A and B are shown apart, each in its own frame.
Chain A
Amino acid sequence: MRKFLTTATALALLVSLLAGCGGTPANSPAPASSPSSSGAKAADSQQYINAVLLNGTNSSEPSILDVVHFTGILDRTVLWNILEPLTRIQNGELVSAGAKSWDISTDGLTYTFKLRDNSWSDGKKVTAQDYAYAIKQQADPANTFSFASDYFCIKNFQAIFTKKEGAGPLGVEAVDESTLKITLDYPNPALLTTVDFFPLRQDYVEKFGTKLGSDADKLVCCGPFVLTSWVHNTQLDFVKNDKYWDASNVKLQKFTYKIITDTTAQYASLENKSVDFVTLTNSEYVKKFKANTNLNGTFIDLARTQMVVFNTQDALFKNAKVRQAFSLAIDRESVAESLNNGLALPAYALNPASSSVGSQNFRKAVPEPLLELKKANSDPRALLIEGLKELGVNSDPSAHTVSFYMGGTNAVTKTQGEFYQQMWQSKLGVKVSLVFNDNATHSSYLKTGKYQFGFTSWGANIEPQFLMTRWVGGGQAQWKNSEYDATVQKATKALDAKERLNLYAQAEKQLVATEAVIAPVVYAGTMLFSYKYVQGLPTNSFDTTGMKTVYTAGR
């Protein structure tokens, strides 16, 4: 009997402890996709596409296809195809979609949307009430909407969501069937480039309850495509939605998103044309696919910054000079080249090249602040010693051991960790020990400040708002700085683009150079390989058009 007990207990232990390897937490705008090659071939008569459902290079099962319960970027990627948001982002620009036009009051507090004539796949008209109902459901705390904080600027949204007593009515109103009015508590110029305002059918919510969107037969569509089947963890099949307002511009008759989590299986699928395109960073396969004349290769900027974050409450890293020294000791060029196979660009700032403020590209207007710091300090070790002296501790770097925390337990993460360890040990003379944890544990340590310094990455939105607000109130760096908080908060509400740009530039400089709370390392990128017959793939990481623009010519 005891044997059974031990066997069964061992089984339970094994299952619980087998925390495997994982990818990076996902939050960047969708994966991107490909090149419109110049070939002037006519579109094929049979229009279909097989693709891997991807976020960057990670594929996984969507959690749920419901606009109030979805949790991640992969869910959003599917929703873009089956629902029609008020606006979309195409080639990095805001374009009209479910709304044919919109009007923003001069104080930036009232948005009035005029809707298009669009229909649900069951023939009913898409109304302003459907869009208003979605926001009301998202504000309901019982629904625990994961992206709620992006909507906090909407009048009383935050108060309702956090169950504040005496919260007023939500600032959303369907004026008539085709007019939607949204009122804000404070201006938010990044609102439309941050959130998707999807519609939601009240009768479907009442019919399916929490099961809405958990299977292909438990949802209704109003986007370019209709979901016809969903084999969980395997694939999703779509057909063109003939009732869609812009159906004449949708060329694809059907497409399939395959869920292939194993990267080698993704590459095998591309090789035998089981899928028509895929993104990858594996150097061996990049080389192999570049040599394949049937494939187009395009570099995609993922708009994601990988960085080292310092715990500013730590006995050593509470000193700005110590942090600067560790930041400057990173050889960003060799990280980009050796660790990322040249598929990443050295980052001397937080906001990636594709960020914009209003219509102005942010990076073109604001030079990367770390470059200047680097020029002024050629010897990071001397800077470290200065910092140690300020702290009043032993000023010999070799007397100090610091722990570098990484998320992931696979071989790739270990190699990366050792690379960083070598860099700091040789340039600064400190001892660096490495701590590896699975992603959920790592995120929890970073969030709660149970670490010294660690590796993390954040995906950007078009406006710097998202990345910059991560550090307001401390964030993973546990950094309390009222000046930074005030600057960023002022920027997020500044309607004047020029003022906003200056405020973000000022805050970014403080964050990565003067205070060096984080050390941006590289801007992540990936290669997109597609067969030459694939046309119209979006290549901008911010795009929310899904497969709407994709078609084939000369398959």
Chain B
Amino acid sequence: MLKYSLKRIGYMLIVCFVVITITFFLVHLIPGDPILAMASEVPEDVRVVYMAKYGFDQPLYIQYFKFMGQLFSGNLGDSLRYPGRSVAEIIKSCAPISAQIGGISLAIGFIAGVVLGIFAAMNLNRWQDRTIMILSLIGTTLPVFVIATLVQYFLSVFWPIFPTTGWGGAEYLVLPVICMLVDPLATYARYMRSSVLDVIGQDYILTAEAKGASNFRIITRHILRNAFIPCLTMLVTSISGIVAGSFIIETVFSIPGLGRYLISAINDRDYSMVLGINVVITSFYILTVLLADILISAVDPRIRLADNKGRGKA
């Protein structure tokens, strides 16, 4: 178990290193530079002074080693677009906001989606099933900016119940959460339905029926327990994405989350910001997956054994 965990942690560090290296060279290879992105009228004299200050006039590999050295000492650097603010500070204040909205909408979307999925599977091919499936199909295909604009218009202009944009009390959470839960709700409803249908067809359900188990017992003890496992695996991936936030939702509702920086930092050629956010998101993603893997392997020894066998063969 310990060996397995250590191996996974080792892999994780390698992945982080590779991702950061690739990102570093990619962002520096995009044409343009931070000062041009900021103000195109800056004359050459000023540009030269600026580039020298941040070391951008040096060869890329030197900049790379400097950056990695800085990173190992735990420093993500300062934002170029927002002078006076460090990347770590921005991430520290923005990521929890994105995670809050993402977390609440994922929790509601997941629970409601799973319940609807089971309900649909239990009413297979009846009107309840059809309605849920059509609505969830619309939910998964409707682009989030359309949902956001519609929700914003109807619940803040047409019926002025909630604030149009901004951040502060709980009332500012409602609209973004509504927009963000549509996707997990629809996705998990469809996933859970097919998972339940899959399990219903298994031999052990037939066995349970033959043994005379009650319907309630079959559903709770046999169907749900087994159908739930694939959904849980998917949930890990969903959780790992919540700190990144949503660019569109955060833009439409003017939310001070991390999602906005993810895209704007690239447009602004804010190198340290792009890299800093990437480091954090990658680490969080890998960490979540790693934790899930270790937990599952602790519960289910088959995974550990299969992994060892696979290595032996190769």
Chain A interface residues toward B at CB < 8 A: 1, 4-5, 7-9, 11-13, 15-20, 22, 25-27, 60-61, 63-64, 66, 69, 71-72, 141-142, 144-146, 148-149, 152, 158, 161-163, 210-214, 218, 231-235, 258-262, 264-265, 268-269, 271-272, 274, 437-441, 443-447, 450, 458, 470
List chain B residues, Cβ under 8 A from A470: 41
9 closest cross-chain pairs (CB), A and B: A214-B84, A440-B32, A440-B37, A444-B32, A16-B26, A443-B40, A233-B256, A69-B83, A441-B31
B285 at the interface (CB under 8 A from A): yes
Inter-chain contact A146/B42, CB cutoff 8 Å: yes
Give per-residue flags for B244-276: 1 if the beta carbon is below 8 A from chain A beta carbons, else 0: 000100111111100010111011110000100
CB < 8 Å neighbour of B167 from A69, A234, A440:
A234
A-B contact count (CB 8 A): 215
Find the B residue at minimum CB distance from A470: B41
Q: Is the Cβ of B43 less than 8 Å from the Cβ of A25?
A: no
Q: Which of these, B40, B46, B85, B274, contacts A144 with CB under 8 Å? A: B46
Say yes or no: is B50 at the interface (Cβ < 8 Å to chain A).
Answer: yes
Query: A63 with B81: in contact, given A146-B39, A268-B164 (CB under 8 Å)?
Result: yes
Whether a CB of chain A sits under 8 angstroms from the CB of B149 is yes
* Chain B positions 75 through 117: 1 when the CB is less than 8 Å from some CB of chain A, otherwise 0: 0001001111100001001100000000000000000000000
Q: Are B49 and A144 neighbours in the complex by a CB distance under 8 Å?
A: yes
Report the Cα distance A25→B32, complex, angstroms: 13
Among the listed A9, A144, A146, which residue makes an inter-chain contact with B22, where contact means beta carbons less than 8 Å apart? A9
Residues of A near B274 (CB, < 8 A) are 15-16
> Which residue of the partner chain B has the closest CB to A459?
B41
**Quick check: is B229 within 8 A (CB to CB) of the other chain?**
no
Given contacts A269-B165, A441-B31, contact A162 B267 (CB under 8 A): no
Residues 38-73 of B at the A interface (beta carbon under 8 Å): 38-43, 45-46, 48-50, 53
Which residues of B sit under 8 angstroms from A446, Cβ to Cβ? 40
Pair B254/A268 contact, Cβ less than 8 Å: no
Contacts of B303 in A (CB 8 A): none
What is the CA–CA distance of A272 and B159 in the complex, to the nearest angstrom?
Answer: 9
B33 cross-chain contacts in A, Cβ below 8 A: 440, 444
- Most chain B beta-carbon neighbours within 10 Å: one of A163, A439, A445, A450: A439
User: What would 5 A/B residue contacts be, using CB atoms closer than 8 Å?
Assistant: A15-B262, A63-B81, A69-B83, A144-B50, A268-B157
Q: Which residue of B lies closest to A149 (CB)?
A: B43
Query: How far apart sit A265 and B93, CA to CA, in the bound complex (Å)?
Result: 24
A439 vs B163: C-alpha distance in the bound complex, in angstroms? 32
Residues of A within 8 A of B43 (CB): 149
Report B272 CB to chain A, min CB distance, Å: 14
Say yes or no: is B199 at the interface (Cβ < 8 Å to chain A). no
Q: Considering only CB atoms, which chain B residue lies closest to A69 in the complex? A: B83
Contacts of B266 in A (CB 8 A): 15-16, 18-20
Indicate the member of A12, A64, A438 with the most B CB atoms within 10 Å. A12
Q: Given the complex, which residues of B lie within 8 Å of A69, measured CB to CB?
A: 83-84
Known: A13-B22, A15-B23, A16-B26. A268 touches B39 (CB 8 A): no
The residue in chain B whose Cβ has the minimal distance to the Cβ of A27 is B41
Q: When chains A and B are docked, how far (Å) is the Cα of A8 from the Cα of B14? A: 11
Q: Are A161 and B281 interface neighbours, CB within 8 A?
A: no
Chain B residues with Cβ under 8 A from A265's Cβ?
A: 152, 164-165, 252-254
Question: Quick one: given A25-B40, A269-B164, are A5 and B254 in contact (CB under 8 Å)?
Answer: no
Whether, in the assembled complex, B282 has its beta carbon less than 8 Å from a beta carbon of chain A, the answer is: yes
Q: Is there a chain A Cβ closer than 8 Å to B160's Cβ?
A: yes
Which residues of chain A are within 8 angstroms of B268 by Cβ–Cβ distance? Answer: 440
A71 lies within 8 A of B38 (CB): yes
Cα distance A71–B264 in the bound complex, in angstroms: 16
In the complex, what residues of A have CB within 8 A of residue B164's CB?
265, 268-269, 272, 274
Contact yes or no, B41 A144, CB < 8 A: no
- A27, A61, A439: the one contacting B82 at CB < 8 Å is A61
Tell whether B19 is near chain A: CB-to-CB under 8 Å.
yes
Within 8 A of A (CB), among B14-30: 15-16, 18-20, 22-23, 26-27, 30
Q: Are A441 and B252 in contact (CB under 8 A)?
A: no
A8 in contact with B285 given A441-B32, A443-B36 (CB within 8 Å):
yes
Whether A13 lies near B26 (C-beta < 8 A) is: yes
Residue contact A72 to B282, C-beta cutoff 8 Å: no
Q: 18 more A-B contacts (CB under 8 A) besides A60-B264, A234-B255?
A: A4-B11, A16-B278, A17-B26, A18-B263, A146-B38, A146-B39, A162-B45, A210-B83, A214-B83, A233-B255, A233-B256, A234-B165, A235-B166, A268-B152, A440-B268, A441-B30, A441-B32, A444-B32
Q: Counting CB contacts under 8 A, is B156 at the interface?
A: yes
- The residue on A at minimum CB distance from B20 is A12
B157 touches A447 (CB 8 A): no
Count chain A CB atoms within 10 A of each CB in B32, B278, B286 and give the residue with the most. Answer: B32
B153 at the interface (CB under 8 A from A): yes
